[in-house]
Amino acid sequence: MKKLCLIIFVTCLQSVTQAQTATALKDSSKYFADQIVDSKIPVLVDFWAPWCGPCKMLTPILNELEKNYHGKVLFLRINIDIHQRIASYFNISSIPAIIIIDHAAVSKVLMGYRPKPDYISALDSVIAVTSSTPPAAPTTPQDLQKKK
């Protein structure tokens, strides 16, 4: 259903006038931010761009994982050309970039194209932790890198 809403949103976004475009894009960034923060299940955020070859290679893998993890993980795709502020917040410097967020805290960061088992392992580890521990305090990607 969320995918359908996003498709409808994108279709509506394409039909707005130039004067409304900036406002509509700002609103869609808020939509993504709200989805990430308010989710009761882990969120896999795929930062991508239409011109990115590795992103195109990753799409079928993520589509399959989205089906396999339906109801356990929310999948969001964020086009960095459109949503630059969100990409900047997460310090996305190369794509594809996958960030897995659980209870508004960054749990895993996977940069670049990786084999499918890497994504499965990351998702499974986050789901295992989610089911056994209470929510953590919100963190940013910078906080996660400091812990390494």
Residues identified as active-site = 52, 55
**What values do phi and psi take at 20, rounded to 5?**
-90, -15
Distance separating alpha carbons of residues 18 and 83, to the nearest angstrom: 17
Put residue 24 in one of left, alpha, beta given phi > 0 → left and psi -120 to 50 → alpha. Answer: alpha
- Which position has the token pair 């079928």? 60
